[in-house]
Structures are given as C-alpha cells and as structure tokens.
Amino acid sequence: MPLSHLFERQPGLQLAFQLDPDPDPILETLAAFANSEGGQMVVGADANGRVSAAVTAEDIDGILQMSLYKIRPPLRVEVEMVEMPQGTVAVLSAPRSTELHSLADGRVLVRRGAENVVLTGSDLTLLASSRAGGVYELERVPGATLADFDQDVVDEYIEHRKRRQPRAFVGSTESLLQQIGALTEDGTATVLGVLLFGREPQLFLPQAGLTFVKFAGSQRRGESGQIGYGRREDIQGPLARIIERAWQVIWEEMDKQAVVRGLSREEQTEYPATSVREALVNAVAHRDYRIPGRRIEVLMYRDRLEVTSPGGLPGYITLQNIVDEHFSRNPRIVNGLLQWGYIEELGLGIDKMIEAMVAEGHPPPEFKATPHTFTVILRKGREVGQPGLMPQWERDMNERQMQALQYVQQHGRITNREYRQLCPHVSAETLRLDLVDLVDKGILLKIGDKRGTHYILKRQSKN
C-alpha cells in the first residue's frame, strides 16, 4: 500500500504510527497485531503526516533483532523503508499469526481499536484456545506414509489408549491415525505421526532426537582442559522410545544405594526418579520441533543434572507463572504421551518435580529460559546414603507451627485451608503469617499462587 494511503487513514485495529524509534512500544504493537488481525506500523511519522528525520535503517534492524528475544515465539515482520523529503520512514507489517505471541515478561497483547490491551484471565484462555495450536504437528512430511510407521509402536499406543478409554474408538487402525492427526486422508504422514510412530523419525526430522552426556566433574572440561565426559549416547527413534532409552541411560549412570527405612529396603538414587522423569518427559513433549540443528540435551555433571529442550517457554508461560499456568506448544504430542501413560495428569509436572526434589533433601529445581531454549537444572543437596529430611523443630516456633509441620511430615504438603482446619479457633490472618514465618525461616517452601498455593518441607538436617 502506498505510504500516502496510510496517511489518509486514522490509527486503528490494523494501523499505528510512532514518530520516534522507541523499540518497546513498537514491539508491543507488532505483537498485538499478530495476536489480532495483523497490521502495519509506520515508524518515523505520526498520523498527521509529520515526519521525523531520526529513523535509520540501523534503528529498524536493531528493533528486528530485539523481536527475536523479546517476543515469543519470534515474530515474522516485513519491513519497507520509504524515503521522503523530510526523512526516512519505515513501514513494519506483522500478519495475523496462527500462534500466540507473548512478550518477554509474559504479557499477551491484542489490538482493541487504536490501543494495545493486555489480556488476563478467561480472555487470555479463550484467545489461547482459539489460536491454531499445534499447526506444525499436522504439517505433511513429504515422502512419509503409513509404511514408515513402526507397527509395534502403533499397536502399543492403541493398547494403552484402549486401557484409558475402552469405548472411545471403534474402527480401523488407519482411521484412528487419521482421527488423531498422524495421517492425512490421502495417506501422507504428518509431523505428529512421524514423531510418535515413525520407524526412523530422524530420517525425516533429524532434530527429533536426544543427546546424553556424562561429565566427570562439574564443568564440561577437566582440570587440564581436556574434554571431560565419560559417556555419550545419541538416542533416536519415536518419542516413546526416546523417553524409555534416555531414562534407562540416566538410571544406569546415577549413583544408587540400598537404604533401610523401617522394615523395608528401598533403593535411593542420586536424584529422585520422579523429578528426572518429569524433566525428561516435559522436554520431549514441549520442545519446539520446528527448530533444526539441535536436539534435546541431557547433561549429567558431578553436582547436577541439566535437561535442555530447544524452544523458549511457550505461549504466555514465564518463569514467574510456570508453576500455576499451563500451555502446550504441542497439544497433540502431549495428548499422545498422556494416552501412553508418560504424562499422568496435565499441568502438574512442575509441582511434582519440585516436591520430589525437596522431599529427598535437594534444592528445588532451577529453571532457565532463553528465547530459544528451556533448561531444568536438578542440583544435588546431598550424596546418596546421607541423611535426608528430618523433623527440625525450631525453639522459637509456636505450637500451631509445630502442628503444621507435623501435618506436612505426614501428608507431604499443607494448604491454607488445611491449616485453618487444624486450628479452627485462630484467625486466618494469624495462620497465614505463621506459614509466611516458616517460609522466611527456610523450613517450608511455598508452591503456586492464589488458590493453588501449598507448602512443602524445604529445610535439610544439618546433623
């Protein structure tokens, strides 16, 4: 569209003007356009046609570079530089996207008239559900057909599915595969089908694998500078087999020791099995399979285990709301792994990971996110066989707090509501302050927010 035509229009749903090249409001508007109906932004001029001479190609290039890490997933923006007598004007175009784009701080913006509006609550949930989530999962894989599927894996999936939903489907295997999106009507395999059932998925999607490396120390190189790893495994196959094989390798490399608890003999591991499996399954389920050239990485060091998946946090998920919110980049893959039994209950993986680590005497997991990767770090708080969590009664604790800790010891967690039931004659505010005090002392760890808030043990024995 000629620039003169843009000046004839007023700012609105699909048009915005900004005189100066301030990147933050520009990126906010572009993200809002993409989450709405698309639009154009004129940078270097206002709606009255006044042009600033301050906009340069370097300014616009810098803004485009910022869009790669300040908008998730990265936004496709088209740029046209227009020379005018008063100076240079840039027209930035952001088409309507099939994905949900958020800013680095987790805000999701949409265009309402001539303004950008932050969505929250039910509006945000509605927008997320209305986007064409999992579009990449349904893309055709050229040259791949039902003949490229591993029939044993398909049969295994169907068997697990029947156990979960005995009456959910009656029909042929091929029609079921079409129903879940693994095959198109003309028999072409989709990305979903190749990932879940492919005999050799990496022939079509080389990035869809996992690399395990165990290092001798706490760094990638040894003390003298040489490569410090003792074992490397490149794991391939359909997603279920990748999870199984990766878990087997990690299990083989973890320190283990038999521990007697009461009258039973248990095997204690270097890291809680629950936390490791959750980190592994989450990486496989939620990685961005569109990113080529990098696989999931599981790196085992002397003092920690790191699981990194390509692709930043999806949708509106941030490090701040990761415990409370849930958003699937690959909803059909997630559902497939749910049917298989690798995911027990949607949205609770992070909670379980945290609780298992703390219960076994380790620090809570660390989460690190970049625009293109997400990493879970499990750090050792003790060696295998050392004493774990034990009751630790502080001298300055009141009787209510001791009662709360006894409850946590027995049930693994406590909520504000459960604490009020334990102490029905004490005000809710007093009980809330009791729990805050235990958190401040480092005895309890607060998990979640608002209605989902609960508390688990944090402090380790120093004996």
Report the alpha-carbon distance of residue 448 to residue 44 in Å, rounded.
44
Residue 389, pLDDT score: 44
Classify burial at 374, counting beta carbons within 10 Å of its beta carbon; exposed 0-12, middle 13-18, buried 19 or more: buried
The string of pLDDT tens digits covering residues 104-157 is: 888 999 998 889 999 887 777 767 765 655 578 999 999 999 999 999 999 999
Pairing of strands 296-300, 210-215: parallel
Taking 90 as the threshold, does the pLDDT of residue 252 lie above it?
A: yes
Q: For 355-420, give the secondary structure using H, E and C.
A: HHHHHCCCCCCEEEECCCEEEEEEECCCCCCCCCCCCCCCCCCCHHHHHHHHHHHHHCCECHHHHH
Percent above pLDDT 70 for the chain:
88
Query: 96 pLDDT band (50/70/90 cuts)?
Result: confident
Q: How far apart are CA 259 and CA 238, in angstroms?
A: 36
Peptide bond preceding 73 in cis form (omega within 30 of 0)? yes
Q: Report the distance separating Cα 246 and Cα 253, nearest Å.
A: 11
Q: Which residue has the higher pLDDT, 126 or 373?
A: 373
Q: Is 140 helix (H, G, I), strand (E, B) or coil?
A: strand
pLDDT in tens, 224-249: 666 667 889 999 999 999 999 999 99
Distance CA 54, CA 63 (A): 14
Contacts of residue 319, defined as CB under 8 A and 6 or more positions apart, other chains included, come to: 313, 367, 369
What 3-state DSSP class applies to 69? helix
Residue 101, token pair as written in the block = 């784009």
- Residues 424 and 403 sit within 8 Å (Cβ to Cβ): no
pTM (2 decimals)?
Answer: 0.68
The pLDDT, as a whole number, for residue 447 is 87
In this prediction, residue 304 carries a pLDDT of 95
Would you state the pLDDT for residue 278? Answer: 94
Asked if the model's pLDDT at residue 315 lies above 80, the reply is no
Residue 358: pLDDT over 90: no
Judge whether 309 and 373 are in contact, CB under 8 Å. Answer: yes
Q: Which tokens go with 90?
A: 């840039």
Instruction: Output phi, psi for 46, to 5 deg.
Output: -105, 180
Identify the structural domains of the chain with CATH numbers, from first to last: 3-119 (3.30.950.30), 136-203 (no CATH), 210-379 (3.30.565.60), 399-457 (1.10.10.10)
- Angle 176-180-182 from CA coordinates, rounded to 5°: 90
* DSSP letter, residue 167: T
pLDDT tens by residue, 36-48? 888 899 998 888 8
